[in-house]
Amino acid sequence: MTMAPFISKWRFALIATLFSAAFIAIAARLFVLHVCESQKSIDALEDQRQTTTLISAKRGNITDARGNLLAVSRPVIKLGVDPKVLELDDPKVKEKLETASLILKMPLSELLEKCKPETFEVETENGIVLKERRWRLIDTVEEDVFEKIAALNIYGFKGEKKYVRTYPSQGLAAHAIGFVNAEGTSVSGVERMCEYYLKGQDGWIQTEKDARRREITQFRMREVPAVDGMNVELSIDIILQEVAQREIQRIVEEFNPNKATIIISDPATGFICAMASYPSFDPNNYNKYPVENLRNYAISDRLEPGSTFKIVPISAALNENIVTQDDTFDCSQSTANFRGRILKLPGESHKMGILSVRQIAEQSSNRGAAHLGMLLGEKKLYEYAKLFGFGELTHIGLAGEVDGTLHNPKRWDGLTITRMPMGHAIDATPLQIHCAMSVLANQGVYMKPQLVKRVYSADGKSEILFAPKKLRQVISPKVAEEMCDILSGVASKVGTARRAAVEGFKVAGKTGTAKKIVNGKYSSLHYASSFTGIFPADRPRLVITIVVDEPHSKISRYGGAVGGPAFANIARQAAAYLGIQNDEEYQKILAWKDSLW
């Protein structure tokens, strides 16, 4: 009897203690929430209630010189679903989903699987981790398809407008244009070079949403409109580009090379009219091609220029008044005296004797070029090579360009003075070789090669023009004109590029057939064949360069046989397209003009 009151008091005390502890814990928690973490709680609530929606800017267009679209951003809809509010048990909703699956051309089972609730964690700017529901259903849906889906009025489905980059001409000028990847990042070509102008500025809307995640329009707080990107007009001419790419395809079918490139430009301005490379790719499906196909052979690969480099020592010797085009050299001898040293001269493709400077160019004499190099000396030969653009970037602006190799004379060995004049002991990109020939076609002036002519806004209110850029005078106009005349013999019956001749026109050019270095030494099985020329020679309108890496042919691998026909084919089509008069017509026009005076 005496124990009962004691136990009762003990139980009461225990219960009172537990209640007190619970009360204190609740009070402490409330204190933390309302005092210590009040701002954090408010921020979390705001993050759940407020939303920021991105408004995508439209990327600018890329066009050719005549306004043809080469790259354009196409509006599409990113279709999303909020599984939490989608009532899958409702027969009407299921019926609508069946219709949606037909519109989307997606199996109903797959659509239902995508509609299942799924959450993931995101961290806000305040460091708060929130549970979000996954929205994405299909990345890209055409606008007309989305309109059909929207007409079904399925609660929980929503669309978000975005842009997809497309290339209407597919693989045409792919390396020059470049591409934008699936994440919207510009990767190569003009797309990357002109990213600042093309990309535009995304806008955004900050607003509040209700319990069903719908925007409360009247509570929209801030709205910044998107600013679309500017358009870029290239110097590429889609017709000349097609001509170049057809010719590359013919070369591939006939010679099965490792790589090939063709460059066409206006020598007076430096603007590139066409730039084609093999292997190539379709920028619409860039991820389906090997990485090697994405490389722009015109700027990213080095090769020894071979005999195309001979224009440098010949031009330099004439410009320095060391020789005239009629001076002769004995090219039958295998050695020569250079500053008291007997040097071994390079071999020839066939036996040669006494040759004039003009004949050295026409017949592409290695020993003749070596004699001119020795007359110039190391310092002058090096300086002129630099002036012609070898050993440095052309600064065309495309990513991936390499500068080539031109060693300082201090690093030359005893034979470099006889080997460099024939295009060995030096390497360059096809574009550098092209720019060197362009000097002769432009009165001795080196112009900066350019791909972009202007940048302009869609409304036409803003415009940036890219003018031709004269970088330096390399040789005199007189010597440049003389070189064009000398090199016209290369495409004649006595020259190394007879197949580069174009009936009715005077053509100037230079062949190149360079042995490649394999395992540290020159290989007699691996060659790079090239031809770079001026059309027409007496009134230059175009410079055309063809470089083919390792052509496979049982007949000939020489530059005149591989690149010469390609030059002639391109020149004939360009003359018809651009309205370039043949020599006879041109002389008639000149005679008519003279008669007026």
What domains can be seen in the chain, in order of their start residue? 52-101+115-234 (3.90.1310.10), 238-596 (3.40.710.10)
Contact 171, 282 (CB under 8 A): yes
pTM of the entire predicted model: 0.84
Name the DSSP class of 240: H
CA distance linking residue 285 with residue 364, whole number of Å:
44
CA distance linking residue 155 with residue 171, whole number of Å:
42
Range with top average pLDDT, 30-34, 37-41, 155-159, 319-323: 319-323
What is the pLDDT, as a whole number, of residue 365?
95
Q: Is the pLDDT of residue 247 over 90?
A: yes
What is the pLDDT, as a whole number, of residue 464?
92
Contact 163, 56 (CB under 8 A): yes
**Would you state the structure tokens that stand for residue 103, as one six-digit string?**
């519109």
**Would you state the structure tokens that stand for residue 180, as one six-digit string?**
């934008």
**Would you state the structure tokens that stand for residue 465, as one six-digit string?**
């023009």
Strands (E), 13-144: 50-55, 62-63, 69-81, 119-123, 129-133, 136-141
User: How many degrees, rounded to 5, is the angle at CA 564 between CA 561 and CA 565?
Assistant: 90
- What would the pLDDT profile of 173-188 be if each residue is shown by its tens digit? 999 999 999 888 999 9
Q: Is the pLDDT of residue 271 over 60?
A: yes
Q: Is the pLDDT of residue 209 over 80?
A: no
CA distance linking residue 534 with residue 587, whole number of Å:
19
Average of per-residue pLDDT across 213-227? 63
3-state secondary structure 178-200: CCECCCCCECCHHHHHCHHHHCC
Q: Give the whole-number percent of the chain exceeding pLDDT 90.
A: 59
Polymer length of the chain: 597
Average of per-residue pLDDT across 153-172? 86
CA distance linking residue 372 with residue 315, whole number of Å:
10
Of residues 515 and 449, more confidence is placed in 449
CA distance linking residue 418 with residue 425, whole number of Å:
10
Which residues make Cβ contacts (< 8 Å) with residue 337, sequence separation at least 6? 343
What is the pLDDT, as a whole number, of residue 37?
56
Q: Give the whole-number percent of the chain exceeding pLDDT 70.
A: 86
Note the Cα 375 to chain centre separation in Å: 41
What is the pLDDT, as a whole number, of residue 217?
55
Contact 97, 115 (CB under 8 A): yes
Q: Which residue has the tokens 């990345």?
A: 139
Nearest Cα neighbor of 180 from 172, 193, 169 is: 193
Range with top average pLDDT, 76-90, 429-443, 505-519: 429-443
Q: Is the pLDDT of residue 508 over 90?
A: yes
Q: Is the pLDDT of residue 85 over 80?
A: no
CA distance linking residue 128 with residue 49, whole number of Å:
14
- What would the pLDDT profile of 276-291 be if each residue is shown by its tens digit? 999 999 999 999 999 9
Range with top average pLDDT, 66-75, 379-388, 553-562: 379-388
Give the count of beta carbons closer than 10 Å to the beta carbon of residue 502.
Answer: 20
Q: In 394-527, where does DSSP find H-type helix?
A: 416-419, 430-441, 477-487
- Confidence class for position 122, pLDDT limits 50, 70, 90: low
What is the pLDDT, as a whole number, of residue 587?
82
CA distance linking residue 296 with residue 260, whole number of Å:
10
- Confidence class for position 56, pLDDT limits 50, 70, 90: confident
What is the pLDDT, as a whole number, of residue 30?
65
Q: Is the pLDDT of residue 596 over 90?
A: no
CA distance linking residue 316 with residue 326, whole number of Å:
15
Name the DSSP class of 34: I
Average of per-residue pLDDT across 551-576? 90
Q: Is the pLDDT of residue 47 over 80?
A: no
Q: Is the pLDDT of residue 206 over 80?
A: no
Of residues 219 and 191, more confidence is placed in 191
What is the pLDDT, as a whole number, of residue 304?
95
Q: Which amino acid is at 12?
A: F
- What would the pLDDT profile of 410-466 be if each residue is shown by its tens digit? 999 999 999 999 999 999 999 999 999 999 999 999 999 999 999 999 887 788 999
Of residues 394 and 77, more confidence is placed in 394
Average of per-residue pLDDT across 5-23? 69
Q: What are the b/e assignments for 143-175, b being 16+ CB within 10 Å?
A: eebbeebeeeebebbbbbebbbbebebebbbbb
What is the pLDDT, as a whole number, of residue 329?
96
**Would you state the structure tokens that stand for residue 516, as one six-digit string?**
């490649």
Average of per-residue pLDDT across 312-331? 97
Average pLDDT of every residue of the chain? 87
Give the dihedral sign, CA 165/168/172/173: negative
What is the pLDDT, as a whole number, of residue 45?
47
Q: Is the pLDDT of residue 222 over 80?
A: no
Dihedral pair phi/psi, residue 185, rounded to 5°: -95, 130
Which residues make Cβ contacts (< 8 Å) with residue 230, sequence separation at least 6? 60, 197, 198, 200, 455, 456, 457, 458, 462
- Confidence class for position 205, pLDDT limits 50, 70, 90: confident
Strands (E), 85-196: 119-123, 129-133, 136-141, 157-166
What is the pLDDT, as a whole number, of residue 393?
96
